Amino acid sequence: MARARRGIPIAGAAAALATAVVVAAPTATTVISATTTGTASRAVHALVATSGAAQPAIGTNPPRVKAGVVAKGFKAASPDAVVFSCQSASAPTRCFGPQQMRKAYGTDKLIKAGNTGKGQTIVILDAFQSPTVQQDLDTFDAVWGLPNTKVKVVAPQGLTPWDPNDANQVSWAGEISLDVQWAHAIAPRAKIVLALAKTNNDNDLQAALAYVVNHRLGDVLSQSFGEAEVCYGVNPDGTRQPGTTLAAQHRIYQKAQGKRMTLLASAGDSGSTQPTCDGASNIIAASTPASDPLVTGVGGTQLFANMRTGAYQREVVWNEEARFGYRSSGGGGFSSVYAVPSFQKGLGSLPSRGVPDVSYNAAIDGGVLVAFSAGVYPSGTFFIFGGTSAGSPQWAGLLADINQLNHGPVGGINPTLYQIAAKAPSAYHDITVGQNGDFGLGGFTAGTGWDAASGLGTPVAPVLARQLVARR
């Protein structure tokens, strides 16, 4: 069963701006994890105090905490506003708003030049639903002064009735808010289609994927979920889901490539490992769908930038496991299914298809602010989310901006990404520090050029955009 990538909301006190957002600080600062790290029947959440002490909450009851920062009576700010106290270098756990993320990766220059994703459509593929996806997006837009957009929800199999007491559903609702809001933050004029599988069973996600591709619902597809390749189509009890295979998934991606769709997927939040099919432990494994050669796998970094302006300072491979005590490092490794694709043959003697292809900020300390309520938390509540879940939708937003610049979809980008790295390396921030080892199970170390800890690196958006368009 597919697992939503780690969305880690961090509740913190907020600084009220008289002309922007008035907030009510909670009585305590708390970190919670709202993600599924096991199978659907073993949803795991971790409540982590800012001291770093972890308390796992296992089962079907999502954590009930006095959550986050509640924005009340807010007036429209601007994307460069510093609204929350976590937007400070001295904050116990730092956070970024839209302008800081745009500035760090240079997307602000594309947007200022008018490349806002206008005329493009981003598809977000997720599971279950969020009853407040539009309401939370409206809150996000109001706080940051972003243009309003209406999310088009498509549920080919129908929606599973919302159950706020189901931790798995709450996890995916958080994923939905993260994906929609941050694709929109990077491509504010793009249309957003939210395609929802009935559950996070692989057969349901594969059916929803097929619908998205068969109907070509958009130009760019973001998938912030995954699992070990060996577990695709396998139930927790070891039985198989008929017709749900990596070969079938790959055929759908081939069809998408023929329709000039760009495919993105988060590479994982447990470093060089993935959970076993029953969720009981972890094994060295690459994550699908990121491992498919037709999909651009997005790994994770920890970004250090000016907390007010977002000016880029440095990045390291995302690995906060020692700090938080649970799996929180950028996914990467080598496929057990796919051979080395042609676009990676110039990298040396790789054993097979390597992931990730690229990376993006995924840190918890330095995560992104997300409005998330889902009927579980008060309307207007903001959390910090971390994980490679944050990277895939932001790369999707960047690709929508580039599609507008290109006057059409750039389509599959993996071969071109590697060509650019060889000919115009300034298109990436090359990550050369850090490793994605997972609690003693081994991992990969960053170095010059591509590596299985950070891929080719993170985008320098204006340069990457020019290079992609020049090669189409």
User: Which whole number is the average pLDDT over 419-448?
Assistant: 95
Rounded Cα distance, 122 and 182, in Å: 11
- Delimit the domains of the chain by residue range: 3-470
| CA 211, chain centre distance (Å) | 22
For 351-365, how does the pLDDT look when each residue is reduced to its tens digit (9 = 90+)? 999 999 999 999 999
User: Which whole number is the average pLDDT over 367-385?
Assistant: 92
What pLDDT does 252 receive? 99
Number of other CB atoms surrounding residue 26 within 10 Å: 18
Token pair, residue 329, equals 């490092």
What pLDDT does 80 receive? 62
Q: Which amino acid is at 421?
A: A
- Please state which of the four CATH numbers 3.40.50.200, 3.40.50.300, 3.10.105.10, 3.60.20.10 is assigned to the domain occupying 3-470: 3.40.50.200
Q: Which residues contact 121 (CB under 8 A, 6 or more apart)?
A: 190, 191, 192, 193, 217, 218, 219, 220, 400
- In the predicted model, is pLDDT for residue 23 greater than 80? no
Rounded Cα distance, 182 and 440, in Å: 33
- C-alpha closest to that of 180 among 210, 208, 141, 213: 141
- In the predicted model, is pLDDT for residue 438 greater than 90? no
Least confident of 122-126, 156-160, 277-281: 277-281
Least confident of 52-66, 141-155, 199-213: 52-66
What pLDDT does 235 receive? 87
Rounded Cα distance, 279 and 41, in Å: 9
DSSP 233-244: TB-TTSPBPTT-
Rounded Cα distance, 351 and 471, in Å: 28
Q: What is the pTM of this model?
A: 0.88
User: Which whole number is the average pLDDT over 116-134?
Assistant: 98
Cα dist. 373→46, 170, 248 in Å?
A: 18, 10, 36
For 292-340, how does the pLDDT look when each residue is reduced to its tens digit (9 = 90+)? 999 999 999 999 999 999 999 999 999 998 888 778 999 999 999 999 9
Token pair, residue 259, equals 């329709």
Q: Which amino acid is at 11?
A: A
Cα dist. 440→6, 215, 291, 321 in Å?
A: 20, 44, 23, 11
**Average per-residue pLDDT for the chain:** 85
What pLDDT does 272 receive? 95
